[in-house]
Amino acid sequence: MLRGSCHCGATEWTLTGDPGSITACNCTLCRRYGALWAYDYVDGRIQVAGATKAYRRPGKADPALEILFCPTCAGVLAWRGLRREADGRHRIAVNVRLAAPEAVADLPIDHFDGSIRSTTYPATVAAYATSGSRDGAVLFQSPDPRALGSFLPESPRCPSPTLRRPSPALPCSI
């Protein structure tokens, strides 16, 4: 079991079982929070305890998620999906940077390029999605760079040619 808590200790999370690989995302929120995320579902293997406040992106009519943080020290605990998955559950991810460093030091980190909104990807990227991971993750193999055309950055934004994300609904597109 992994356990993490905010700086003041008023809020905490637990994750039972193997967290699998964790995700470093560079979307507009994650890069500012410096978070590394481990995923599951609300009322599943992740439990959050203590009072939290939530932040939803202002000006967005239908945000995909909200950030949960400690109302005392403002430590970013987790994000919680606001839209149901196909199976009716809500995704949640906890910030593993709140765990003891030695408890998470050996977890593999997947780098997700959340700086490009899903609506800007050409349709050809969808053809490269393959599922089959034990946790239902969707894997994206980098396609031929010519297929991306002008959407491909001058230098790679992500060091890995394989991008992994926790579900078909882009969690960082808030």
pLDDT at 30: 85
- In the numeric block, the tokens 């406040």 are attached to 53
pLDDT at 158: 33
- One-letter amino acid at 149 equals G
pLDDT at 140: 39
Architecture of domain 2-109: Beta Complex (2.170)
Mean pLDDT in the chain? 74
In the chain, where are the structural domains located? 2-109, 112-165
Whether the per-residue pLDDT at 7 is higher than 90: the answer is yes
Q: Mapping DSSP to helix (H, G, I), strand (E, B) and coil, where does residue 149 land? A: helix
Whether the per-residue pLDDT at 5 is higher than 50: the answer is yes
Question: How far is the C-alpha of 77 from the C-alpha of 25, rounded, in Å?
Answer: 15
Question: How far is the C-alpha of 171 from the C-alpha of 174, rounded, in Å?
Answer: 7
Name the helix (H) or strand (E) containing 170: none
Name the helix (H) or strand (E) containing 53: strand 53-55
HSE toward the beta carbon, residue 8, CA cutoff 13 A: 13
Written in H, E and C, the secondary structure of 64-106 is CEEEEECCCCCCEEEEEECCCCCCCCCEEEEEHHHECHHHHCC
pLDDT at 58: 85
Name the helix (H) or strand (E) containing 146: helix 145-148
Question: How far is the C-alpha of 116 from the C-alpha of 113, rounded, in Å?
Answer: 7
CB 48 within 8 A of CB 76: no
User: What digits encode the pLDDT tens for the residues 42-98?
Assistant: 999 999 999 999 999 888 888 899 999 999 999 999 999 999 999 999 999 999 999
pLDDT at 117: 58
